[in-house]
Amino acid sequence: MQMKLDKWNIAIGDGAPLVVMAGLNVLEDETLALEVCAELKSICADLGLPYIFKASFDKANRSSVTSYRGPGQADGLAMLTKVKATHNVPIVTDLHTPEQAEPVAAIADVVQLPAFLVRQTDLVVAAAEAVGAQQGWLHVKKAQFLAPWDCANIITKAREVAPDIQIILCERGTSFGYNNLIVDMLGIAEMKKLGVPVTMDATHAVQLPGADPRTTNAQGGSASTGGRREGVPVLAKAAVAAGANGVFLEFHPEPDSALCDAPSCLPLSGARDLLSQLKLLHDAVS
């Protein structure tokens, strides 16, 4: 099936172009957000790929209370509003509490439910109602502990309060513990059987939860999440070959200096090459 963001003339689903949701992991400052958006929008325009700028205003799920979380809701939404107006692009960002649903949906054309929170009924209901009222998309990260077919319950819950809600499911790996995530590409087809488009979050799927060798906590373990950025293109290409309708990627001009999840972030200089390859793969599969 296909879904549309009518005001942006963007469609996602089988038969539609590959949708690119890409940007920063978390907002650091307005200048950087504008720079990254400008570059990625230009690349996607050249390739004929629909583009949606992504960045979080708050990263609530952190390994340590000292980890950088972002500018917060008020300043972050203001930054996203500036990016949206300056570059004339749709926005995707996540939320963490029911109270955030309406203000976030008023600015973000695509509202994202974080993987760890997709079973929180109050949050799912609030997000579905707010997104439905704005005629946007609800981007649902598949929880690390859910089987692909179990996402049916999330879809049903959202549609009980917003029958016409447009939902996208996002694969981001499965956790079996031991500081690792595993991606089963067969899950993409299983989620598409639920009648919704599916994207691949290749950036977060290469995380090594609680396993960044660069940081140490008081007990001698890691104080933050590690990652394997070299695996991002592998998973993105595999997912597109498996039928994913969109990709979710994070870039930074200096990825090692990114304030959040640096080990999983790709260099902005490599965006054109990767997105070109993904377009070719999507065209071949389609």
SS3 79: helix
The two beta strands, 166-171 and 137-141, are: parallel
Q: Which helix (H) or strand (E) holds 107?
A: helix 101-107
Return the CATH number at 191. 3.20.20.70
What range does the domain containing 28 cover? 16-285
Q: What is the pLDDT of residue 242?
A: 98
- The pLDDT, as a whole number, for residue 217 is 41
Give domain status of residue 5, yes or no.
no
Q: Which two tokens stand for residue 66?
A: 């000292």
pLDDT at residue number 203: 92
* 4, part of any domain: no
Contact 72, 58 (CB under 8 A): yes
Residue numbers of the chain with a pLDDT score lower than 70: 62-64, 66, 210-225
Catalytic site residues? 25, 59, 261
- pLDDT value of position 57: 96
Paired tokens of 263: 């080990």
Residue 215 lies in a domain: yes
Q: Is residue 1 in a domain?
A: no
pTM: 0.92
Domain presence at residue 63:
yes
Q: Is 214 part of a structural domain of the chain? A: yes
**Predicted local distance difference test score (pLDDT) of residue 179:** 82
- Residue 48 within a domain: yes
What does DSSP assign to residue 242?
A: T
How many domains are there within the chain? 1
